[in-house]
C-alpha cells in the first residue's frame, strides 16, 4: 500500500480502460493543475492595473514574481507535511492494529505542528477561506452592476448569494473539472482582453506614471498581491482528494506559469494605458469603455467567480464539518450547515462591499499567515533535527539541504510578517476604515460607489 493513496511504484494499470475511466472520474494530476490555475487568479486579475499604478512598473513586476515564488516554495512545504502526516498516520495505525488488535482507522490524532499550532492554523485557514469566499460575492455583484440591469448592488449580492449557495450540494472536488475549465476560459479571455485593448488604444490623454504613490497605498496593494497568490488555505483539502497528493505542489508550479501569462502582461499594459488614473480604481472594468468585448468579459468573470467561490468555500465546508464532527453524518445535515456558512458570508459581503480593499485585508491578516508564515514555521518546527529532515518522506524544495531550507523558511516568515502582516495589515485596515466612513447611508448600503 502507498501512503500517498496511489498504487505501488512500478505496478502498471490493469487496462487502458481503467486509465480512461480514471481520467474522467477526476483526481488526476491534470485535475490538480486545472483547479489551481482556475482558483489562483480570479477576480484579483481586475485589481492589477490598480496594483501596478500604486507600485510602479519595476517594483510591481519584481514583487509579483517574488511573492509567487515564495508561494510555490511554501506550497511544497505544506504538501511535504501532508505526505509526512499520511506516512506517520499509516504506520502508527498499523502498529496499533497489530499490538492492540484495533482498527487502523482509529489512529487519527497526529498533528505535525502540535495541538496549539494545529488549532491556530485551523482558525487562520477558516478565516482565509471565508474572506476569499466573501471577496467572490463582492466582486460578482460589482461586475454584474456594469451590465446595467437597473438592479442595485445589494440586491445583486443577494442574487449572487443564492446562486453560489448551490455549491453546498457538490460533494468533493472530484466533480469540479467542468467548472474549472470555465474558470480558465474566463480569466484567459479577460486577461488578454484588457492587455490587447490597452496596447491597441494606447495611453489616455495626459497620462502620467507617478507610482509608487503613498506608503499606505503601496502596502495595501502589496497585501492584495499576497491575496492573489494565497490559495494554500484551500490546497490541502484539494490535494487530499487527488490520486497523488504528493504531486500537488508540482501542479501548483505549472499553474503559476499560466498565471504569469495573464497577470504580468495585463498589469503592465493596464498601467501603460491608464497611468495614475488606475491608482484609485480597484476594479479595472470601470476603466474600460463599454463595448461588447468588455461585456462578454464581465459575464465570463461573473461565472468564474461563482466557480472560485466553490473552490474556496468547499474546503471551508469540509473543515467546519470536521470541527463540528458531522463529516460522517447525513448528507442533508451537512448541506444545512453549509447554507448557514454561506448566509454568514453573504451578510458580510452586503455590509462591507469594498472591492479590492477586501482582498488586501484578507491578504494581510489571513493569507500572509496561512500561505507563507505558518507553513514555513510549521515545517521548521516539525523537521527540527538534521536526522529527522534527512528521513522525511518528500524532498525539500529544489532538493535544498537542511540549513538552506530552514534559512529560507525563516526568511520568508520574517519578511512576510513585517511587510505583509504588520505593514500590509496597517495599510489595509486604514484603507478599509476610510472606505467604511465614505458610505453615506451606513452599512448594508443599497448601492456603494454606484
Name the percent of the chain lying above pLDDT 90: 45
The pLDDT tens digits for 201-255 are 999 999 999 888 899 999 999 999 998 887 776 666 667 767 788 888 888 899 9
Burial bucket for residue 286 (CB in 10 Å: 0-12, 13-18, 19+): middle
Give Cα 235 distance to the centre of its chain: 8
Position 284 scores a pLDDT of 93
- Quote the percentage of the chain above a pLDDT of 70: 82
In a domain, 380, yes or no: no
Q: Please state whether the peptide bond connecting residue 212 to the residue before it is cis, i.e. omega within 30 degrees of 0.
A: yes
Q: What is the dihedral of CA 98, 106, 380, 311, to 10 degrees?
A: 140
CATH number, domain at 55? Answer: 1.20.1740
Classify residue 406: in a domain, yes or no: no
Q: Which residues contact 250 (CB under 8 A, 6 or more apart)?
A: 29
Residue 285 is predicted with a pLDDT of: 93
Give residue-wise pLDDT tens across range 253-266. Answer: 999 999 999 999 99
Give the pLDDT of residue 149. Answer: 83
255, 40 in Cβ contact below 8 A?
yes
Give me 275's grid cell.
497611468
**pLDDT value at residue 89:** 65
On whether residue 449 sits in a domain, the answer given is no
Determine, yes or no, domain membership for 55: yes
The per-residue pLDDT for 112 is 53
pLDDT, tens digit (0-9, with 9 covering 90-100), for 4-32 = 544 334 333 434 444 434 444 557 788 78
Over the stretch 297-326, which tens digit does the pLDDT of each residue have?
999 999 988 888 988 888 889 888 888 889
Residue 94: the pLDDT is: 52
Number of domains in the chain: 1
Please indicate, yes or no, if residue 16 is contained in any of the structural domains: no
Mean pLDDT of 407-416: 96
How many C-beta atoms lie closer than 10 Å to residue 355's C-beta?
Answer: 25
Q: Which helix (H) or strand (E) holds 406?
A: helix 402-415
Where residue 53 falls among pLDDT bands split at 50, 70, 90?
A: very high
Q: CA triplet 55, 59, 62: central angle to 5 degrees?
A: 140
Q: Answer yes or no: is 14 within a domain.
A: no
151-189 confidence digits (pLDDT tens): 888 899 999 999 999 989 877 656 566 677 888 899 999
When mean pLDDT is compared over 110-119, 127-136, 171-180, the highest value belongs to 127-136
Closest CA to 335 of 318, 323, 352: 318
For residue 34, the enclosing domain spans 25-368+415-437
Closest C-alpha among 243, 259, 218 to residue 72: 259
Across 93-118, b (16+ Cβ under 10 Å) vs e yields beebeeeeeeebeebeeebbbeeebe
206: Cβ contacts below 8 Å, ≥ 6 apart: none
Would the pTM count as exceeding 0.85?
no
The pLDDT, as a whole number, for residue 114 is: 57
Check residue 237 and give its pLDDT: 65
- Which of 324, 356, 375, 370 has the alpha carbon at shortest distance from 126? 370
Give the model's pLDDT for residue 235: 66
Amino acid at each position: 500500500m502507498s501512503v500517498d493513496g496511489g498504487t505501488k511504484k512500478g505496478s502498471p494499470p490493469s487496462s487502458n480502460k481503467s486509465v480512461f475511466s480514471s481520467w474522467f472520474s477526476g483526481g488526476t494530476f491534470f485535475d490538480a493543475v486545472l483547479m489551481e490555475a482556475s482558483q489562483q487568479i480570479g477576480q484579483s486579475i481586475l485589481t492589477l492595473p490598480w496594483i501596478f499604478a500604486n507600485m510602479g512598473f519595476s517594483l510591481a513586476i519584481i514583487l509579483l514574481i517574488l511573492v509567487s515564488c515564495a508561494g510555490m516554495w511554501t506550497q511544497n512545504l505544506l504538501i511535504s507535511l501532508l505526505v509526512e502526516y499520511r506516512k506517520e498516520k499509516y504506520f502508527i495505525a498499523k502498529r496499533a492494529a497489530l499490538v492492540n488488535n484495533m482498527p487502523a482507522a482509529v489512529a487519527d490524532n497526529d498533528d505535525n505542528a502540535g495541538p496549539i499550532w494545529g488549532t491556530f492554523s485551523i482558525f487562520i485557514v477558516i478565516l482565509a477561506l471565508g474572506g476569499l469566499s466573501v471577496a467572490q460575492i463582492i466582486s460578482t455583484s460589482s461586475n454584474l452592476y456594469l451590465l446595467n440591469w437597473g438592479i442595485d448592488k445589494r440586491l445583486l449580492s443577494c442574487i449572487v448569494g443564492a446562486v453560489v449557495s448551490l455549491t453546498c450540494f457538490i460533494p468533493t472536488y472530484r466533480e469540479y473539472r467542468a467548472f474549472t475549465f470555465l474558470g480558465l476560459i474566463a480569466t484567459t479571455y479577460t486577461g488578454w482582453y484588457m492587455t490587447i485593448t490597452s496596447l491597441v488604444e494606447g495611453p489616455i490623454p495626459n497620462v502620467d506614471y507617478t507610482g509608487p504613490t503613498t506608503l499606505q497605498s503601496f502596502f495595501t496593494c502589496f497585501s492584495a498581491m499576497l491575496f492573489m497568490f494565497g490559495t494554500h488555505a484551500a490546497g490541502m483539502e484539494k490535494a487530499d482528494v487527488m490520486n497523488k497528493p504528493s504531486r500537488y505542489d508540482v501542479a501548483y508550479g505549472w499553474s503559476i506559469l499560466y498565471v504569469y501569462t495573464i497577470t504580468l502582461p495585463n498589469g503592465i499594459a493596464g498601467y501603460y494605458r491608464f497611468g495614475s488614473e488606475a491608482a484609485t480604481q480597484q476594479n479595472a472594468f470601470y476603466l474600460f469603455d463599454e463595448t461588447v468585448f468588455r461585456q462578454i468579459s464581465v459575464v465570463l468573470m461573473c461565472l468564474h467567480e461563482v466557480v472560485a467561490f466553490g473552490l474556496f468555500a468547499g474546503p471551508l465546508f469540509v473543515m467546519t464539518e470536521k470541527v463540528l464532527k458531522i463529516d460522517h453524518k447525513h448528507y442533508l445535515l451537512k448541506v444545512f450547515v453549509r447554507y448557514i456558512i454561506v448566509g454568514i458570508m453573504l451578510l458580510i459581503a452586503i455590509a462591507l462591499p469594498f472591492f479590492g480593499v477586501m482582498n488586501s485585508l484578507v491578504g494581510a491578516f489571513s493569507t500572509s499567515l496561512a500561505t507563507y508564515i505558518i507553513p514555513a514555521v510549521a515545517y521548521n518546527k516539525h523537521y527540527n533535527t538534521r536526522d529527522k529532515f534527512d528521513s522525511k518522506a518528500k524532498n525539500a524544495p529544489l532538493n535544498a539541504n537542511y540549513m538552506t531550507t530552514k534559512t529560507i523558511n525563516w526568511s520568508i516568515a520574517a519578511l512576510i510578517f513585517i511587510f505583509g502582516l504588520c505593514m500590509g495589515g496597517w495599510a489595509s485596515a486604514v484603507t478599509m476604515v476610510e472606505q467604511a466612513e465614505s458610505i453615506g447611508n451606513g452599512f448594508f448600503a443599497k448601492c456603494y460607489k454606484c
